[in-house]
Chain A
Amino acid sequence: MAGVSVASALRERLDIPGGRPPFSVAGPLAPLLPGGGLRRGSVVAVRGSTALLLALLAAATVQGYWAAVVGLADIGVLAAAEAGVVLHRLALIPRPGTDPAPAVAALLDGVGLVALAGADRITDRARRSLVARARQRGAVLLPLGPWPGADVELRCRTEAWHGPEAGAGRLRSREVQVHATGRGAAARPRTARLLLPGPGGAVAQVPAGPPRAIKAVG
């Protein structure tokens, strides 16, 4: 059924400020998001996983758009590259100062995807102005953590790690459950089971066979 979109999805896609299409995301993540991508001008909160954030940024940077990550000094840049992010279009602002809002506002003017850690330090007022700015510029704000009034909130829960077994093997992939809730078009909750990271580092579908559950080792 790939390529066939139902009427509701079409409506979501047409409901775009400025008529610009959403930023695309990797295939396995698309069913979680209304319109199949990161809608311009929206706020997508990511909770519980840096890897999920990186996976969301990847496809857009491949298409020539820019992404910025604010306030995440310990981001694994190599993991970003493995997730498919084009590194020279990923700007890192690890230390945005005590109030990250002005830097985020400046970034929203020129960068399509702005991820932000430490959003709890932003006042409600600055928060509203950032949302308005993102909507006006057609950018997407991706707070890492809770964000009251986010259009979409993605929660990631680790189910199991595959690979290591009592000294042998190595970490290969992680099975996660991503749960999407939100407002408006995203009000209907959606859930997906994914490999994040998958075998190559990028996000992948869970293979059809029964997953090898990980056993506790004594």
Chain B
Amino acid sequence: MTADPAPGVAASPARLMAVWCPDWPVVAGAAAEGLTVQVPAAVVSANRVVTCSATARAHGVRRGQRRREAQGRCPELAVLADDPDRDARAFEPVAVAVEALAPGVEVVRPGLVAVPAYGPVRYFGSEPAVAERIVDMVAAQAAAECQIGIADGLFPATLAAHRGLLVPPGGSGDFLATLGIGELHQPGAGADRSALVDLLHRLGLRSLGAFAALSVDDVASRFGPEGVRAHRLARGLDERPLARRRPPADLTVTRTLDPPVDRVDAAAFASREPAEQLHAALAARGLACIRLGVRACTEAGEELYRVWRCAEPLTPSGIADRVRWQLDGWLTSRGARPGSADASTLPAGLGADGSTLQAGLGGITLLHLIPEEVIGGQALQRGLWGESGEEDERAGRALVRVQGMLGPDSVFTGVPGGGRGPADRIRLVPWGDDPTPARPAVDPRLGAELPWPGRLPTPSPSRVPTTPLPADVLDNAGRIVGVSGRGVLSAVPYRVAMDGRPPRRVLSWAGPWPIEERWWEPGGGRRCVRLQAVLDAEPGRTGEPLAVLLGCETGRWQVEGIYE
């Protein structure tokens, strides 16, 4: 009962070679700090270990541990800050070293490069020969340790690189089938699939092979698009079908940088605006970029080019980050290029922000951003509220600006929830916060509406005073109408005086509706009755009838809502 893929989708992905530097953030961080390999080190973000070196691992440090726990197991542990910029900057020499032997390098993320395997394998004769040469080259030029994996498609190649395996052509499915289901979730590799992995594990699908054996239809109906993507990976296919579109040629964004950019901080600034322009141009055509080419020309006339590949469609800040990382990498590493005297060590001054470009190359004068591969923009149709169209973005910017003027607690959106009164059923959430209702109106598991007995039916009052207005409900003798313990009025309401105004005749009324809430909580209960009344104009004036919602709690009447 193997899955039967639709015709045309079955074409196996191109043979790729993945060059993986284990624990790259630690390697880059340790190099920046000048630590040797023997010192146990770990990169810590938000008080949790993100990555640790092999030495630290030998001491019992693990990913996900608290910093204190890690230091408890290994007191001499060097704790490094999490800094993607540093990682990306330090990775450029590795990409250069791989590129020296194999053309068409794509940086997947700092620490992982993918190269089409076909060409270099033909040139050097065999896959093991290529792997050996690349490992040697990276060690010699970038002073970094790396492992090679070759397989069909990026995902199997990455997993093969983790194990240092060369999977035979066509054998990716068998290779993946033996691996644990946990491999679907790769920390730091874009999509967070930890929840899916956990669920599959509990469902008894312990290996990728068991998951791949399910039919696509079943996976789609049970796990949705995210599950289908994971399923494609488990079957050894590319994450998305090969229906990618070639971008129109005119989408390349070009910027002349004058004065030439020769500092890292200037590169950060220069990358932002073209990134937004590229994203807007793509979005206008309903496209999003998943492979981004960055081309730069230097004052010395050298042309630099690098491709970044991403699992998720790139957002404007994602594009800007990659451009900045790439420019940083070029600016800081070019001085230690192959052939220079200190080629065997990592470039000096790694991580030193603002370090200038080495002499002889000059600054970057021209920048091109090239969308190498694009997909339909539907993949991007999920923003803050589940969609991110142009209108939503414009409105979001305007609301943030108002928040900048008036403070964060000035802009709200209303979130409907459960409750009985008009004020209880709405929670005002400051713009940008998580829009969860105060009390659920809908059962999250069943999707059915929860019962709120005593809830006021539609229509709801169009004005709900933030603090209820005091009111007097009077009978025809001018006495205040009371409510008995059983929720019965002592007399028929005849006049209502609101907020100290002269009393108005009651034209018609409905109720009373008693409400008892949370009577089981000591001291937290609430008993009240609600009454709707249509009031005539104030005496001696011409006016319109006005409908109000009155509430009586502990013998005192108040206006809870006005139907205006």
Contacts and interface: CB of A to CB of B under 8 A. Distances in A.
A214 B505 CA distance: 14
Interface string B310-322: 0000000000000
A143 interface: no
Given A78-B460, A93-B410, A110 B547 contact: no
Interface residues on B, range: 35 or more
Contacts of B396: 110
Contacts of A92: 411-414, 428
Contacts of A163: 510
A87 interface: yes
Most buried by B among A73, A80, A164, A174: A164
B564 interface: yes
A75 B510 contact: no
Q: Is the interface of B mostly helix, strand, loop or mixed?
A: mixed
A76 B273 CA distance: 42
B474 to A, nearest CB: 14
Interface stretch (B31-39, B353-361, B386-394): B386-394
Contact of B391 (A66, A81, A166, A217): A66
B412 A91 contact: yes
B422 A76 contact: yes
A76 to B, nearest CB: 4
A107 interface: yes
Given A97-B406, A161-B545, A74 B465 contact: yes
Nearest to A164: B510
Contacts of A73: 466
B563 A54 contact: no
Contact of B459 (A103, A164, A171): A171
Contact of A164 (B402, B422, B508): B508
A167 B422 contact: no
A20 interface: no
A89 B395 contact: yes
A106 B402 contact: yes
Interface string A75-115: 11111111000011111111111000011001111111000
A90 B411 CA distance: 10
B510 A170 contact: yes
B305 interface: no
Interface in A110-141: 110-112
A73 B422 CA distance: 14
A169 B510 contact: yes
Interface string A161-197: 1011111111111100000000000000000000001
Contacts of B545: 158, 160-161, 214
Contacts of B536: 216
Contacts of B392: 64, 66, 89
A217 B506 contact: yes
B205 interface: no
Contact of B532 (A160, A164, A214): A164
A173 B389 CA distance: 36
B399 interface: yes
Given A75-B464, A94-B412, A171 B406 contact: no
Nearest to A160: B545
Contacts of A197: 458-459, 563
Interface in A50-75: 50-51, 54, 64-66, 68, 73-75
A74 B547 contact: no
Nearest to A63: B391
Contacts of A66: 391-392, 394-395
B511 A157 contact: no
30 contacts: A51-B462, A77-B414, A79-B461, A80-B462, A89-B395, A91-B399, A92-B412, A92-B414, A93-B412, A95-B406, A96-B406, A96-B410, A106-B401, A107-B399, A109-B397, A110-B399, A161-B508, A164-B509, A164-B510, A166-B508, A166-B509, A171-B510, A171-B534, A197-B459, A201-B459, A201-B460, A214-B508, A214-B534, A214-B545, A216-B507
Closest 9 CB pairs of A and B: A110-B398, A164-B510, A77-B414, A66-B395, A158-B544, A197-B459, A78-B460, A110-B394, A50-B462
Given A92-B414, A167-B511, 5 more contacts: A51-B564, A80-B414, A91-B412, A216-B505, A217-B507
